[in-house]
Amino acid sequence: MSEGIDIRVVGRAGRITLNRPKALNALTYDMAMGIDAALRDWAGDDRVRVVVIDAEGDKAFCAGGDIQKLYETGKAGDFAFGQRFWRDEYRMNARLARFPKPIVSLMQGFVMGGGVGVGCHLSHRVVEGGTQIAMPECGIGLVPDVGGSLLLARAPGRLGAYLGLTAARMGPGDAIRAGFADFCIPRDRWAGLTAEIEESGDPACLAAAQVPDQEAPLAAEQAQIDRLFRGDLPEIMDRLEAAEGEFAAATLKAMRRNSPLAMAVTLAMLDRLAGVTDLREALRLEYRYTARSMEHGDFLEGIRAQIIDRDRNPQWREGPVDTAAAEAMLAPLSHELTFEEE
């Protein structure tokens, strides 16, 4: 049993509960590997007909990865630990997406970064009224990863670019519309539905329990998002600076806090992933950036400014942030990410 996670079989269901509520259930390496091992065991276990993933606490399903050790090892010049962390986490994300049995996620509160990787590539994704889903990686010098880039690439119009470059949070309605979730169900019904699924081995009861027609505030901004988020990063910034209105001003303010390199690479990734259906292709692309992010990107400085010193004043790398710079971070690696199934 990995610390911070409870893995067991109840009735016909494999049960995974993230259990670090004081840390907003931030995903450690051992937790990720615990999930991966459970999926390996349950894939061929006839007792397990369905998997249910949930989390303790009210504030978060999972607010991201546990990046303290990533920062410490990276500052010491050890880039191999981070590369192993991301490599093995991404393989776990792929296993979740390709699992041969239904998987249900019950996602309350914050669902960010690594939480998206655990909860949003599944067959049955449940949110509640207080759920807030986001991909905030550009604010720490990373790019939307754990397969989040593919979800963003599939979002309506240019919504994915907006979400990736601004780290905007989605409530339940926007999350469903953007393709990050399937059902909004009041949280006070989750325990009963989970018990029903454990007994039957069938998640079909979720559809009947959902609250339809959730408000999706970003839908009202879709036309503006599609107009503003065309082209490369300099074009988008120029368009936002010239635009009038509170939405454009707030969007520009959010983007100015983020790593220009990470935003440029995010746009390049979304362009490459247009029409892609295999999550593994997105994970390979993400890994090319994250494997380089400590040595050649802004990751360590972003963590310093946001998490370690908390001065909120990152000194991002200088130099032209153009298509060539972005493409260099996405060039093939000598140690490309691979998957067992290949």
For the chain, the three-class secondary structure string (H helix, E strand, C coil) is CCCCEEEEEECCEEEEEECCHHHCCCECHHHHHHHHHHHHHHHCCCCCCEEEEEECCCCEEECCECCHHHHHHHHCCCCHHHHHHHHHHHHHHHHHHCCCCCEEEEECEEEECHHHHHHCCCCEEEECCCCEEECCHHHHCCCCCCCHHHHHHHCCCCHHHHHHHHCCCECHHHHHHHCCCCEECCHHHHHHHHHHHHHHCCCCHHHHHCCCCCCCHHHHHHHHHHHHCCCCHHHHHHHHHHCCCHHHHHHHHHHHCCCHHHHHHHHHHHHHCCCCCCHHHHHHHHHHHHCCHHHHCCHHHHHHHHHHCCCCCCCCCCCCCCHHHHHHHCCCCCCCCCCCCC
- Of 118, 223, 101, 105, the closest CA to residue 162 belongs to 223
- What pLDDT, on the 0 to 100 scale, is given for residue 68? 85
pLDDT band at residue 5 under the 50/70/90 scheme: very high
- What pLDDT, on the 0 to 100 scale, is given for residue 1? 53
Mean pLDDT over all residues of the chain?
Answer: 96
CA distance 325 to 321: 6
Encoding tokens for residue 177? 């519309």
| Catalytic annotation present for 66 | no
Encoding tokens for residue 139? 């604010």
pLDDT band at residue 318 under the 50/70/90 scheme: confident
- pLDDT tens figures, 197-237: 999 999 999 999 999 989 999 999 999 999 999 999 999 99
- Of 159, 170, 57, 166, the closest CA to residue 111 belongs to 170
* Catalytic residue (choose from 54, 128, 145, 198): 145
- What pLDDT, on the 0 to 100 scale, is given for residue 273? 98
Give all domains of the chain, ordered by start, each with its CATH number.
Answer: 5-329 (3.90.226.10)
* Catalytic residue (choose from 54, 137, 182, 298): 137
CA distance 221 to 112: 22
- What pLDDT, on the 0 to 100 scale, is given for residue 341? 67
CA distance 83 to 162: 27
pLDDT band at residue 3 under the 50/70/90 scheme: confident
- pLDDT tens figures, 10-60: 999 999 999 999 999 999 999 999 999 999 999 999 999 999 999 999 999
CA distance 87 to 92: 9
| Catalytic annotation present for 114 | yes
CA distance 250 to 247: 5
| Catalytic annotation present for 137 | yes
Give the mean pLDDT of 306-311.
93
Q: Which pairs from 69-73 meet CB under 8 Å and 24+ separation? A: 69/29, 70/299, 70/303, 71/300, 71/303, 71/304, 71/307, 71/308
* Catalytic residue (choose from 4, 34, 64, 65): 65
- What pLDDT, on the 0 to 100 scale, is given for residue 67? 87
Q: Tell whether the model's pLDDT for residue 336 goes beyond 90.
A: yes
Q: Tell whether the model's pLDDT for residue 157 goes beyond 90.
A: yes
- What pLDDT, on the 0 to 100 scale, is given for residue 291? 98
- What pLDDT, on the 0 to 100 scale, is given for residue 229? 98
- What pLDDT, on the 0 to 100 scale, is given for residue 66? 83
Q: Tell whether the model's pLDDT for residue 80 goes beyond 70.
A: yes
- Of 63, 250, 286, the closest CA to residue 153 belongs to 286
- What pLDDT, on the 0 to 100 scale, is given for residue 324? 86
- pLDDT tens figures, 243-273: 999 999 999 999 999 999 999 999 999 999 9
- Residue type for position 168: A
- What pLDDT, on the 0 to 100 scale, is given for residue 323? 81
Q: pLDDT higher for 66 or 79?
A: 79
Angle at 154 between CA 150 and CA 159, to 5 degrees: 110
| Catalytic annotation present for 278 | no
- What pLDDT, on the 0 to 100 scale, is given for residue 69? 87
* Catalytic residue (choose from 114, 119, 173, 302): 114
Rg (CA), the chain: 19
- What pLDDT, on the 0 to 100 scale, is given for residue 342? 56
